[in-house]
């Protein structure tokens, strides 16, 4: 399970990236990131799959301490999906402040079929 963060200089729109791995985006399940040693604001996310999914789309949502990050959803589309496809999440509009030591929960609704690992990147800015 990739649970690492990379601070500083990752890009111009964020200070770092948290990682999580979804064992199978096509099975309703959760995964968690590591907690960070400082407070941050979550600014976005993406999910990359390792194989094609079919049968429907899988919705990936994000929570902090059991509260959904407002509007931040990534839809893993079955139409045209393939190994290496990346799906950006809608930018969060609220409930996206992360306190030091608290992990982010990544949840899939399992709406697709065919097992596919989801590599999740969650972008943040220090606050």
Q: Provide the phi-psi class of 109: left if phi over 0, else alpha when psi is between -120 and 50, else beta.
A: alpha
What number is the average pLDDT over the span 85-111? 97
Q: Chain-wide mean pLDDT for the chain?
A: 91
What whole-number distance in Å separates Cα of residue 70 and Cα of residue 45?
A: 13
29-32 sheet: strands from edge to edge: 29-32, 104-108, 58-64, 67-76
pTM (whole model) above 0.85: yes
What whole-number distance in Å separates Cα of residue 15 and Cα of residue 71?
A: 21
CATH number at residue 31: 2.60.120
What whole-number distance in Å separates Cα of residue 51 and Cα of residue 118?
A: 9
Residue 91 domain boundaries: 5-126
* pLDDT at 85 exceeding the cut of 50: yes
Q: What is the pLDDT of residue 101?
A: 96
* pLDDT at 21 exceeding the cut of 70: yes
**41 touches 96 (CB < 8 A):** yes
Number of structural domains in the chain: 1
């Amino acid at each position: 399970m990739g649970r690492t963060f990379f601070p500083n200089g990752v890009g111009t729109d964020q200070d770092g990236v948290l990682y999580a791995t979804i064992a199978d985006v096509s099975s309703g399940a959760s995964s968690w990131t590591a907690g960070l040693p400082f407070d941050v604001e979550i600014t976005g996310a993406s999910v990359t799959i390792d194989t094609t999914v079919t049968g429907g789309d899988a919705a990936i949502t994000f929570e902090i301490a059991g509260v959904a990050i407002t509007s931040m959803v990534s839809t893993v589309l079955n139409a045209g999906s393939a190994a290496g496809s990346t799906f950006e999440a809608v930018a969060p509009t609220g409930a996206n402040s992360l306190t030091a030591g608290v992990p982010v929960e990544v949840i899939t609704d399992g709406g697709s079929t065919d097992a596919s690992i989801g590599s999740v990147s969650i972008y943040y800015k220090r606050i």
